[in-house]
């Protein structure tokens, strides 16, 4: 429970209305009741304010609704996230190493770490303060995990990989699986040992069932603040820059380098040994088959500027009709040519 004024102080917003009203939770705009706060970040939802029963609404400055208590913020979506965290996200209770957890004697575990039953911690593992490891998670030998990390159930971090501070691994994430490397040997293939590691820098989040392959030599690196969605595949020796977003089912093949603040839509793919610049956005199902310069918004396969891709896709439904017209024009042209020859 918090007053609207306390929430405004939390997010650096301004109040229009009663700052002393108490708020208990955040709810969707069409379900909100007394004691709730909701938000509007998309103008198309503004008409819903007329029927909204919430005690307060987070909106951008310039919106006027005298009958409602408003929390004015330049970024309502960010304010919503911070208030939701403050009101409804509970901190994990420090429980130590619980019965049923398997922890090697050589592991160095801070006293404020929680390790749940069924987790396995290998030899010489180091885990920083405040980290929580859930049931079924496995840390192989010589793994290093920083402070305030959250490693969910069934996640696996293989040998020698390094994880920074405040990293989140969602359930069944795999960090440091073997890279896909095989040398042709006649009719068969010889497995290339993958002896490198994976490095996740601070504030990285890895989605459920996402796999990040260890380097053949050296490091696969996911840099500070980058977020990977569920079911993403990162190949060996890939480097992903800071504050990137890679959406579900995306993939980056081995040895490619991605710059800072890039966003890849669902099922977007990057071929191997490429360089992607900073501030690149690739739409869903887009595919990079060559290097990409910085500061572009692209879509399609092959990639093209997003606006050009939109025009191209709008043409696709008309192709059957255009094909028929072209056949008719070709037939008429042939008839005209025949008449000209006869004359």
Radius of gyration of the CA atoms of the chain, in A: 27
Helix (H, G, I), strand (E, B) or coil at 325: helix
Q: What pairs with residue 58 in β-bridges?
A: 39, 71
Which residues are CB-contacts of 115 (< 8 A; sequence separation ≥ 6)?
96, 97, 98, 101, 103, 109, 121, 133
* Nearest one of 150, 164, 6, 17 to 87, comparing CA atoms: 6
For tokens 């399609």, the residue is 300
**Residue 247, burial from CB neighbour count under 10 angstroms (0-12, 13-18, 19+):** buried
Distance CA 311, CA 299 (A): 11
Active site residue 261: no
Contact 22, 3 (CB under 8 A): yes
Distance CA 221, CA 233 (A): 13
- From the candidates 116, 152, 236, 261, which is the catalytic residue? 236
For 83, list phi and psi in degrees, rounded to 5.
Answer: -70, -40
Q: Any idea of the CA torsion for 160, 164, 168, 170, to the nearest 10 degrees? A: -20
**Residue 218, burial from CB neighbour count under 10 angstroms (0-12, 13-18, 19+):** middle
Contact 189, 169 (CB under 8 A): no
Cis before 302? omega within 30 = yes
* Nearest one of 271, 262, 250 to 297, comparing CA atoms: 262
Instruction: Name the strand (E) or helix (H) holding 191.
Output: strand 188-191
Distance CA 244, CA 41 (A): 22
So which residues are the catalytic ones?
236
């Amino acid at each position: 429970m918090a007053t609207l004024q306390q929430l405004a102080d939390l997010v650096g917003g301004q109040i229009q209305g009663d700052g002393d009203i108490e708020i208990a939770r955040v709810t969707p705009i069409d379900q909100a009741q007394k004691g709730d706060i909701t938000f509007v970040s998309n103008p198309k939802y503004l008409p819903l304010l007329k029927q909204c029963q919430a005690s307060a609404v987070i909106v951008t400055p310039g919106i006027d609704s005298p009958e409602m208590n408003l929390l004015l913020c330049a970024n309502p979506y960010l304010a919503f996230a911070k208030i939701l965290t403050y009101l409804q996200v509970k901190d994990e209770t420090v429980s130590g190493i619980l019965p049923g957890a398997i922890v090697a004697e050589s592991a160095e575990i801070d006293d404020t770490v929680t390790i749940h039953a069924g987790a396995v911690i290998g030899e010489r593992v180091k885990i920083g303060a405040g980290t929580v490891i859930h049931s079924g998670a496995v840390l192989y030998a010589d793994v290093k995990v920083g402070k305030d990390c959250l490693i969910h159930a069934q996640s696996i971090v293989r040998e020698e990989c390094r994880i920074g501070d405040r990293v989140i691994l969602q359930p069944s994430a795999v960090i440091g699986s073997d890279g896909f490397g095989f040398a042709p040997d006649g009719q068969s293939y010889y497995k290339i040992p993958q002896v490198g590691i994976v490095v996740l820098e601070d504030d990285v989040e890895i989605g459920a069932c996402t796999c990040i392959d260890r380097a053949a030599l050296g490091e696969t690196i996911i840099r500070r603040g980058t977020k990977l969605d569920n079911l993403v595949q990162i190949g060996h020796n890939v480097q992903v820059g800071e504050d990137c977003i890679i959406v579900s089912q995306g993939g980056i093949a081995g040895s490619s380098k991605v710059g800072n603040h890039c966003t890849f839509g669902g099922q977007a793919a990057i071929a191997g040994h490429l360089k992607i610049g900073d501030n690149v956005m690739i739409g869903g199902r887009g595919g990079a088959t060559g290097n990409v310069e910085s500061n572009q918004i692209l879509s399609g396969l092959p990639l093209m500027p997003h606006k050009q891709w939109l025009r191209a896709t709008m043409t696709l439904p008309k192709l059957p009709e255009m094909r028929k017209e072209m056949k008719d024009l070709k037939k008429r042209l042939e008839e005209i040519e025949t008449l000209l020859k006869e004359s």
